[in-house]
Amino acid sequence: MPFLIKLAETVAWSIASVLILLGSLWLFDRLDPTDFQQEIRDGNIAAGIILGSIILAIGAIVVAVLLSP
């Protein structure tokens, strides 16, 4: 039974992390005037690198917040 509780907690925190990451990306997209998705569709590699680094940075912040005691 403790295994199922830990599994449920892991799934719940994973879903919470994904929702926080998506919400942060949505907020960043609304605050920044550059349309990174359109730039990436147009073949702008630099926009893809910037958006990827933003996703990694937000992910690192989410992990740090969720793992803090």
Output the pLDDT for position 62. Answer: 86
pTM comes to 0.74
* Contact present, 11 and 45 (Cβ < 8 Å): no
Q: Which single residue is written with the structure tokens 């910037």?
A: 50
Output the pLDDT for position 53. Answer: 95
User: pLDDT tens for residues 7-55?
Assistant: 998 899 889 889 999 999 999 989 999 998 899 999 999 999 999 999 9
State the Cα–Cα distance between residues 42 and 16, nearest whole angstrom: 32
Query: Which of these, 33, 1, 19, 4, lies nearest to 62 by C-alpha position?
Result: 19
pLDDT > 80? residue 69: no
Domain residue ranges in the chain: 2-67
pLDDT > 90? residue 57: yes
